[in-house]
Amino acid sequence: MERIQMKSYDIAVVGGGPAGCMAAIKASEAGKKVVLLERNPEIGRKILLTGNGRCNLTNNSSLTGLIDRFGRRGSFFRSAFSSFTITDLVNFFQESGLEVKEEDGGRIFPITNRSQSVIDVLRAQLKKHKVTIIYNYRVKELRKMDGYFQLSNKTEDKKDHTNKQHFGPDSEQYISPDDDLIQATRVILSTGGASYPKTGSTGDGYGLAQKLGHNITPLKPGLVPLKIKENWALSLQGVVLKKVGLTFRHGKQGKIKGEGDILFTHFGVSGPTLLDLSQEVVKILDKEAEVKLYLDLMPTVPREQLEDILLSDFKKHSKRDLQNYLRSYLPLGFIKTFMEVVDIDPHKKLNQVNRKERLKLADNIKGLKITVSGHLPLSRAMVTCGGVSKNEIDPQTMESRLIPGLYLAGEIIAGCAPSGGYNLQQAFSTGFLAGASAIID
Ligand SMILES: Cc1cc2nc3c(=O)[nH]c(=O)nc-3n(C[C@H](O)[C@H](O)[C@H](O)COP(=O)(O)OP(=O)(O)OC[C@H]3O[C@@H](n4cnc5c(N)ncnc54)[C@H](O)[C@@H]3O)c2cc1C
């Protein structure tokens, strides 16, 4: 076990998520003295949760596709995505002994189906590159001094007594109470966003950057479940509707559309497609109290054709009851509630369903209306949209345009993408570029 005597480093990386780990690995390659400061007793707590514990590392898409996923200002990430490409990311893990596999929609996962394998690779690489890691070190002050930065785990006015003596999981490094001040010529700030705060990402970096003069664009939840108003929908908790069409309508013409599975929860709705669309819906909910969501329960069947199908089926299977008939199309757990909404007796025989009821049924199959009344808070969102303003960061280097020697990487930077591995690719790519830039003298 090596006691840390020196508190002075070439580069201090704040935050041991994917961005910070990659930045530290890259920065240490050139023989620089690098310290990684992580507030948790381990690195990558958020990685553990990614992809439902399987870690959707990246996505097999083109550079343009990747950039597009980050919206209007996505081209800010062009240099980062070019300097550490999707292939580079895959090679990095493969060369470190972790094979990957591609799934639907180009999503790339470790072959082990375990996020922990990704963390294991990062830890091994940090060790290989002799990065000093100080765990349980929460950076509370970051100051620009004359030619260097000073970092502290104590606020100026308040001593932090929780940071006594801390050991990393390998008992490789520790910091004593007297060693709380760290000096570094350059700093890479990679503290993540402000969602899932239990993972350590409590948004500290925004405050640290702000104190140095940076502007933080409004922090909005991205990939967040939505709340709904109707009690009938809330009673469907746990029900999944597969491959349905989703259309959010707002204002006179506004439409946000997608297709995929939808999961009913005790507060509203979730599911991958819905989460992807949520970023846009959140923007509307900032201005409007409600947004209408229309579910198309048979998106592959046009409205007119559905009417014909119902008419012909109702004749052909006239003695079947309606509930039984609908089981061919809809999950059983959904039909009872659906029949209540449509207000038709589910036990009616098909030949007893009149034209008006049949049309109402078709209307609701093609456009079941739900009122979205809000979204879960930022803490329950998978990503934070908003953060350190891109205008204040040089996209070629990730260096702050305001504070020379300060670099930003990962989710702390404003902008977010839908699910599919894009956000992790952003973290790894910006981390790599920040690390590569910070070593240039
Ligand atoms: C449930 C869930 C599932 C997800 N699944 C995927 C997925 O499958 N694919 C994908 O691409 N994206 C996914 N994401 C998003 C992805 O995890 C993040 O975009 C990514 O982790 C951001 O990386 P980062 O390094 O910028 O920040 P983080 O991963 O948030 O890491 C920041 C680190 O900084 C540390 N830290 C914070 N403040 C301080 C401080 N003051 N001092 C010291 N250390 C500090 C934190 O403890 C943390 O370890 C998911 C997110 C969630 C919440």
153-173: pLDDT as tens digits = 987 665 444 443 333 334 345
Question: Whole-prediction pTM value?
Answer: 0.91
Beta carbon of 411 within 6 Å of any ligand 1 atom: yes
Nearest-angstrom CA–CA distance, 417 and 391: 18
pLDDT of residue 252: 81
The pLDDT of 196-209, averaged and rounded, is 97
Q: 357 near 385, Cβ under 8 Å?
A: no
The letter for the amino acid at 116 is Q
Q: 65 near 74, Cβ under 8 Å?
A: no
The pLDDT of 210-233, averaged and rounded, is 96
Beta carbon of 190 within 6 Å of any ligand 1 atom: yes
In the 8-state DSSP scheme, what is residue 380?
A: G
Nearest-angstrom CA–CA distance, 306 and 289: 33
- Please name the residue whose Cα sits nearest to atom 27 of ligand 1: 192
Beta carbon of 46 within 6 Å of any ligand 1 atom: yes
Beta carbon of 408 within 6 Å of any ligand 1 atom: no
Dihedral of alpha carbons 149, 191, 376, 248, sign: positive
pLDDT tens for each residue of 343-382 = 999 999 999 999 999 999 999 999 999 999 999 999 999 9
For residue 2, report the distance from its CA to the centre of ligand 1, in Å.
Answer: 29
Q: Alpha helix locations (H) across 129-252? A: 204-211, 231-234
For residue 201, report the distance from its CA to the centre of ligand 1, in Å.
Answer: 6
Beta carbon of 427 within 6 Å of any ligand 1 atom: yes
Give the CA-trace dihedral at 407, 49, 281, 298, to 10 degrees: 140
Beta carbon of 421 within 6 Å of any ligand 1 atom: yes
Q: 69 near 431, Cβ under 8 Å?
A: no
The letter for the amino acid at 290 is E
Contacts of 253 (CB under 8 A, 6+ apart): none
For residue 395, report the distance from its CA to the centre of ligand 1, in Å.
Answer: 21
The pLDDT of 140-153, averaged and rounded, is 96
Nearest-angstrom CA–CA distance, 93 and 19: 15
Nearest-angstrom CA–CA distance, 81 and 244: 33
Nearest-angstrom CA–CA distance, 201 and 379: 10
Q: 66 near 84, Cβ under 8 Å?
A: no
Which candidate, 122, 129, 154, places its Cα nearest to that of 141?
Answer: 154
For residue 23, report the distance from its CA to the centre of ligand 1, in Å.
Answer: 14
Which candidate, 438, 433, 429, places its Cα nearest to that of 81?
Answer: 429
pLDDT exceeds 80 at position 433: yes
Nearest-angstrom CA–CA distance, 113 and 64: 28
Domains (range + CATH), the chain: 8-221+383-438 (3.50.50.60), 225-375 (no CATH)
Q: 295 near 241, Cβ under 8 Å?
A: yes
pLDDT tens for each residue of 397-416 = 999 999 999 999 999 999 99
**What kind and span of H or E run contains 420?**
none
pLDDT of residue 157: 60
Give the 3-state DSSP-derived string for 287-317, with helices as H, strands as E and coil as C: HCCCEEEEEECCCCCCHHHHHHHHHHHHHHC
